[in-house]
Amino acid sequence: MEALPPAVVSRETEARIEAFVPLLLRWNARINLIGPMTEAVVRQRHVADSLQLLPLVPPGEGPLGDLGSGGGFPGLVLAMALERPVHLVESDRRKAAFLQTAAADLGLRHVQVHIDRIEAVTLPPLAVLTARALASLEKMLPWAERLLAPDGVAIFPKGRTALEEMQAAAPGWTMSAERFKSSTDADASIFRLSRIRRAGA
């Protein structure tokens, strides 16, 4: 399992994060985006956990999609550091309202929020697909196959069940898979998947 290179962000991204965390905590008191948390815990458990994915995002201008964006992790945080179009998919209207407010307040004009179910959402072919703490790989691979461009990559952080999930999903799929060690959680890892196809397709 490879170690992740460090994520380097600009001063502008740091300023956006500084503005984002208090906004998140204010909304969290009303609609429970991430559970009760302090600012320090938000920065380590959620912001840093999202930013560590940056080195895995391939260069280019192709769109990034994030499924089940919730409190903005990882998709909105990645959008703070990227200029490419970012599509956040969230079916809960209250969480989607938070995402829309945060994107507007932070000046993220390249972010579009889709209030829709993952199975039904219409997106442009994605260069990058992310999802964090959403579902098993077995459930997410069909979404990735449908939404990714032919040369697109899926970046999925996973917890201690990462290998078991891959073993459960593998018989039905062919793909190129890389696994990286999380820099924020010793029990977690991150899959970067490409060329995702159903077995026999």
Annotated binding site: 68, 73, 118-119, 132
Token pair, residue 34, equals: 């991430």
Angle, vertex CA 123, rays to CA 117 and CA 128, nearest 5: 105
Binding-site residues for S-adenosyl-L-methionine, in ranges, read 68, 73, 118-119, 132
Residue pair 148/154 in contact (Cβ under 8 Å)? The answer is yes
* Cα–Cα dist 105/101, whole Å: 6
What residues contact residue 107 under an 8 Å CB cut-off, 6+ apart? 16
C-alpha angle 5-8-10 in degrees, rounded to nearest 5: 170
Q: Which residues make beta-bridge pairs with 177?
A: 193
- Do residues 114 and 121 touch, judged by C-beta distance below 8 A? yes
